[in-house]
């Protein structure tokens, strides 16, 4: 459905001028996701710290000519652009999407609940896609901004919509209801998520139910709502009691499946769900009820539900062969999710080559020519270097196009394969070298086989790094800063064990102001990963001077000896005005000039041309400890005096910074010009995690290698240190002290999380293995996933048990442990 900019202005009831006929096909709120500038309306949604209008110069340069703004703009700077000015750009975005939705008369399923929204949405897509051309929310686009962007995707080819809606406060759902306008509602459950936004459980249910104000039919899992549901329309429910539309009588786990016995329409029915965990069974039953209401028979549902696959709700970046990284996003394949995945690939790859392995896109609602023309546009706009096309439809289109002498050659290398089998048989792993690879395949193409073929074969212990959680933590601390305060992110020690390049790229995308590393070599790694942010090196030495200058790294100068050595180097190289950072010792007594040396330092700085001072900083010793607040004040006073003396002597301003993670939270008066955010970025901040609602970034996981039964009195492990006092079940897991699991956690000190339960370590920790007593954990088997630390076993708990700090636990994770990066 085509719109002009004038159509959008009319929708928003903007009058007084003509806005022209420029086509608007894409609504973009994130400048990083711009693909087709000539057809894009940029919606400028400002955050608490940064106005979205600051992105307009860059976007204008990239070709965007239509903008929706709330602030006044000097339009003379953008002579070819049109600006639609409204009081609130979020509300205007929602108004545009609601108008767009009103132009379609197709069934739309609206889903809400505390948990399970995305799973139910994706499973309904799997179950119904053979009968419908479906438009659905990409991933978890269920917010006040995500919902309108999701609904905007609707076009004339679609025969069914499936959208999810999430809220965190009263008053939000009514706006989403006006956009989605569901004809069939689904309420998954009501749990504890976002409780802080509501006065009671009943208030939360009432607010979420507003999605169904004008919906004639509601599917609900009444046992998982917790409050009586009063719905005026037709309620299609399932639960354990007889008043439900489907009454679940019995659930029996059989192998990897759950057999359901239920009453439906006064008949006893039987079917099987291919999952055993309670959450998956609940979500699958909700999907079954939707299909029953839509007229599918139990027999049809039974066949389809057996094909359900677990939903991978995050894009994972894994290390692969030949120094490659694989972005495996093959749980779905359509144009919208392809655009999202390509955007993420481009962000992560930076200046590195990007390759796409892409299958046929099934049931798009477009002709193959229209579909793959659009796909090629996406690939070109995202700077793909090479395409591996798999499947008869896409290869047929590309063959025809490449044979057309009137068409320009494709700007990337293209390889065609009729099937996944052909790719695996004919492909050569040596073709993939130091590049980023996106896997995007429809389910029937079984791209998990390609992922396994490409990924490094390492042992099954992985450190998962949640980049979405890291960004959440960053924004949490940014919200405490004054608008003018800069932020330096600490990415030293391999980003606290999380991996430097991938973390730094995400921070650069979030526009932090500075990065800091310990050694020059770490900075080189970041530069080679495409990081252009200024980088401070905190422990430079004479051997690294060449490296720092060659890679534009900014050293910390902490002594006259280092000052003189670097000055001599710069003079020899003929370099002037090189940026440096001066470290002042105010009580840490580790590195830095003494306060009484500032006058002498200022004097030598006045009489040289080699350096320009970018910042003066110091390090707070105990900013997290209220008992040390007087000493913290003393440090700040010394720092302020020194900074004032230095600035007066130099005659120009520089950045001042002393606040670390704890001080950002506890001492906002010490923000100065910049703060340094370290371990808080990774979800750890003394005892403030719950208060700040920080999210876990790092999760260390392993798997069970073997399970054995032993008799009372038997010993376990080296030295016979582990002794069982009852007949016991012992699980050996694939992690040991060579992976960074501290030997002090042996013999019952440490615990791991298995199948929803804690299990104590028994016996001594081995180099590559650890034994757990899982006697009280049900049904543990080889291959089960084990959390070493994460959401269920906080890293602080391991630190306390071993008499150390969370920093040491996180940075001790061995480099042989594979890092897996993902976004939710």
User: Which residues are tagged catalytic?
Assistant: 492, 718
Q: Which tokens hold the place of 464?
A: 């998962």
Q: Which tokens hold the place of 149?
A: 């962007």
Q: How far is 681 from 326, CA to CA, in rounded Å?
A: 25
> What torsion, rounded to 10 degrees, do the Cα atoms 805, 808, 811, 814 define?
-130
327: number of Cβ within 10 Å: 26
Find out whether 309 and 126 touch, Cβ atoms under 8 Å.
Answer: yes
Q: How far is 193 from 450, CA to CA, in rounded Å?
A: 37
Q: What is the CA radius of gyration of the chain?
A: 29
419: number of Cβ within 10 Å: 15
Find out whether 454 and 430 touch, Cβ atoms under 8 Å.
Answer: no
Q: How far is 230 from 209, CA to CA, in rounded Å?
A: 9
Q: How far is 508 from 513, CA to CA, in rounded Å?
A: 8
Q: How far is 450 from 144, CA to CA, in rounded Å?
A: 37
Find out whether 807 and 778 touch, Cβ atoms under 8 Å.
Answer: no
Phi, psi dihedrals of residue 624, rounded to the nearest 5°: -80, -10
Q: Which tokens hold the place of 12?
A: 């928003």
Q: How far is 265 from 58, CA to CA, in rounded Å?
A: 61
Q: How far is 4 from 249, CA to CA, in rounded Å?
A: 56
Return the SS3 of 649.
helix
- Identify the H or E element spanning 470: helix 467-478
Find out whether 501 and 692 touch, Cβ atoms under 8 Å.
Answer: no
Return the SS3 of 115.
coil
Pairing state between β 722-723 and 715-716: antiparallel
Q: How far is 824 from 315, CA to CA, in rounded Å?
A: 7
Q: First and final CA of the chain: distance in angstroms?
A: 30
Return the SS3 of 200.
coil
DSSP 4: B
Q: In what order do the strands lie in the sheet containing 267-273?
A: 134-136, 160-164, 108-112, 184-187, 217-221, 234-239, 246-254, 257-264, 267-273
Return the SS3 of 237.
strand
Find out whether 646 and 583 touch, Cβ atoms under 8 Å.
Answer: no
Q: Which tokens hold the place of 247?
A: 């009454």
711: number of Cβ within 10 Å: 9
Helices (H), 199-321: 201-208, 278-293, 298-305
Find out whether 540 and 529 touch, Cβ atoms under 8 Å.
Answer: no
Q: Which tokens hold the place of 390?
A: 């798999």
């Amino acid at each position: 459905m085509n719109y002009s900019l004038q159509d959008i202005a009319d929708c928003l009831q903007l009058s007084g001028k003509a806005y022209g006929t420029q086509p608007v096909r894409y609504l973009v709120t994130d400048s990083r996701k711009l693909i087709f500038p000539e057809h894009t309306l940029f919606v400028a949604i400002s955050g608490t710290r940064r106005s979205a209008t600051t992105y307009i110069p860059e976007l204008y340069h990239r070709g965007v000519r239509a903008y929706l703004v709330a602030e006044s703009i000097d339009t003379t700077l953008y002579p070819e652009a049109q600006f639609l000015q409204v009081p609130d750009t979020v509300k205007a975005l929602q108004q545009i999407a609601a108008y767009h939705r009103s132009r379609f008369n197709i069934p739309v399923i609206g889903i809400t609940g505390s948990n399970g929204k995305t799973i139910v949405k994706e499973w309904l897509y799997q179950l119904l896609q053979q009968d419908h051309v479906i438009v659905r929310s990409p991933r978890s686009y269920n917010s006040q901004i995500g919902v309108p962007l999701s609904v905007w995707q609707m076009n004339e080819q679609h025969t069914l919509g499936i959208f999810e809606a999430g809220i965190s406060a009263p008053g939000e759902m009514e706006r989403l209801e006006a956009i989605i306008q569901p004809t069939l509602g689904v309420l998954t459950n009501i749990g504890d998520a976002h409780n802080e936004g509501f006065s009671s459980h009943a208030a939360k249910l009432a607010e979420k139910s507003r999605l169904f104000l004008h919906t004639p039919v509601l599917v609900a899992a009444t046992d998982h709502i917790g409050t009586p549901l009063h719905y005026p329309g037709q309620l299609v429910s399932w639960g354990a009691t007889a008043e439900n539309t489907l009454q679940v009588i019995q659930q029996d786990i059989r192998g990897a499946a759950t057999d359901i016995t239920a009453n439906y329409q006064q008949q006893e029915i039987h079917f099987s769900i291919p999952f055993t965990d309670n959450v998956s069974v609940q979500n699958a039953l909700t999907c079954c009820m939707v299909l029953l209401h839509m007229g599918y028979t139990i027999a049809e549902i039974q066949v389809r539900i057996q094909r359900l696959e677990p939903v991978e709700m995050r894009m994972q970046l894994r290390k692969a062969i030949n120094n490659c990284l694989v972005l495996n996003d093959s749980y779905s394949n359509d144009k919208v999710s392809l655009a999202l995945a390509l955007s993420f690939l481009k962000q992560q790859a930076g200046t590195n080559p990007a390759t796409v392995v892409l299958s046929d896109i099934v049931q798009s609602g477009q002709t193959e020519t229209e579909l793959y023309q659009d796909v090629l546009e996406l690939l070109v706009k995202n700077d793909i270097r090479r395409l591996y096309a798999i499947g008869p439809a896409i290869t047929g289109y590309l063959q025809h196009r490449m044979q057309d002498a009137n068409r320009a050659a494709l700007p990337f290398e293209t390889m065609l394969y009729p099937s996944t089998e052909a790719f695996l048989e004919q492909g050569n792993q040596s073709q993939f070298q130091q590049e980023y690879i996106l896997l995007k395949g429809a389910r029937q193409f079984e791209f998990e086989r390609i992922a396994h073929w490409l990924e490094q074969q390492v042992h099954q212990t992985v450190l998962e790094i949640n980049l979405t959680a890291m960004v959440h933590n960053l924004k949490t601390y940014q919200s405490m800063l004054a608008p003018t305060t800069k932020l330096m992110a600490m990415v030293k020690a391999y980003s606290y064990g999380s991996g430097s390049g991938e973390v730094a790229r995400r921070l650069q995308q979030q526009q932090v102001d500075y990065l800091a590393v310990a050694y020059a070599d770490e900075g080189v790694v970041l530069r080679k990963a495409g990081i252009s942010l200024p980088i401070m090196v905190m422990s430079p030495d004479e051997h690294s001077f060449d490296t720092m200058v060659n890679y534009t790294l900014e050293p910390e100068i902490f002594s006259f000896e280092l000052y003189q050595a670097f000055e001599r180097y710069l003079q020899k190289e003929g370099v002037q005005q090189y940026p440096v950072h001066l470290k002042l010792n105010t009580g840490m007594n580790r590195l830095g000039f003494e306060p009484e040396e500032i006058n002498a330092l200022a004097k030598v700085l006045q009489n040289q041309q080699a350096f320009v001072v970018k910042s003066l900083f110091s390090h707070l010793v105990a900013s997290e400890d209220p008992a040390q607040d007087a000493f913290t004040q003393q440090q700040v006073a010394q720092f302020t005096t020194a900074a004032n003396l230095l600035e007066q002597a130099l005659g120009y301003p520089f950045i001042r910074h002393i606040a670390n993670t704890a001080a950002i939270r506890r001492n906002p008066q010490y923000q100065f010009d910049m703060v340094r955010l370290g371990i808080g970025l990774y979800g750890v901040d003394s005892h403030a995690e719950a208060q700040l609602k920080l999210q876990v970034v790092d999760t260390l996981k392993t798997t069970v290698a073997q399970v054995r039964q032993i008799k009372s009195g038997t010993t376990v492990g080296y030295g016979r240190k582990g002794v069982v006092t009852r007949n016991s079940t012992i699980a050996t897991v694939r992690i040991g002290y060579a992976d960074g699991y501290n030997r002090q956690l042996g013999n019952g000190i440490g615990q791991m999380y298995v199948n929803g339960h804690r299990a104590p370590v028994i016996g001594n920790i081995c180099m590559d293995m650890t034994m757990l007593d899982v006697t009280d954990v049900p049904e543990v088997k080889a291959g089960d996933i084990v959390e070493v630390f994460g959401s269920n076993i906080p890293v602080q708990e391991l630190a306390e048990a071993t008499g150390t700090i969370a920093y040491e636990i996180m940075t001790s994770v061995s480099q042989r442990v594979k890092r897996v990066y993902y976004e939710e």
